[in-house]
Structure 1
């Protein structure tokens, strides 16, 4: 084979291989959670004595996620919560919740969730990861759903998800006795991200 044709053939093969593998390694889009515009929320509820629900939220948090609708299982998410910002709509109770009896915010001012895998199927989205709270890290799964994605009125692009999970306080070293009906916390995370 002539040298010119050999070089041309090699160049064609290199381009084809590059296109093939490049298509398979496309990076998922990165999104910043819109906590500044408060188009996101981290909320919780726990039973009070087995008679009612106590609801609250964390006012300060941040995070980011990656998402590609063509490859949702390659996504990832990280959320960091300022535990000092707990708000149960009662100042004295919040002071107690910040104490060493519960969140111990003077020692552990942040909680953090980092995904390890995300699995999307016909039944929904499972976000598997690690939650660090009160200095303890445990595996956790968030049941999530995609709310939607698309352009916003300001020239950006957004995607939003909602997720729920639950865990026992004792799993994170919080053993203050609130009664047998109040050992488990239920959390809801609504996040809207702005594509970067």
Structure 2
């Protein structure tokens, strides 16, 4: 016969089993959430890497298509025409180190736009602000891709980092860019862009 005591014991046993199953399921959920976060991080890194590679390849194609009208590495251009441009290979420096006589026009387009926007702003800017001024989508991958370009400009002497994540062109570069043209737009970047950046 089933007594009240044995019934209560059975109920208590089943309750303990249910609690144990809940604890195990919670552990599994925690593990899955951790895995999900790791996969999100991996996806973000892959997206940034892919966009960076696409930008590098795009700059390489742009360099091939741009005519050369000045000497390269100390060689003079003859009167017949420009020195032929060889297709760049991976590992080629597309951002030359800044030195007197080198102009922003020698930079790949994305770098040139970033330099001109910083000159127009006249102050240190964050990668996100520059990305918006360039018309890029306000996405983490875009900001990270641009931040790597700004770091490269700092490494090559075109810009400096005023503080963590704050970039500004160097004074010689600002003077060179500001002295170009007659006050009109530069490569489609209007001087009035400072107003949209909040001064």
Q: TM-score, normalised on structure 1? A: 0.30
Which of these two proteins has the greater Rg computed from alpha carbons? 2
Q: TM-score, normalised on structure 2? A: 0.30
- Bigger fraction of residues in helix: 2
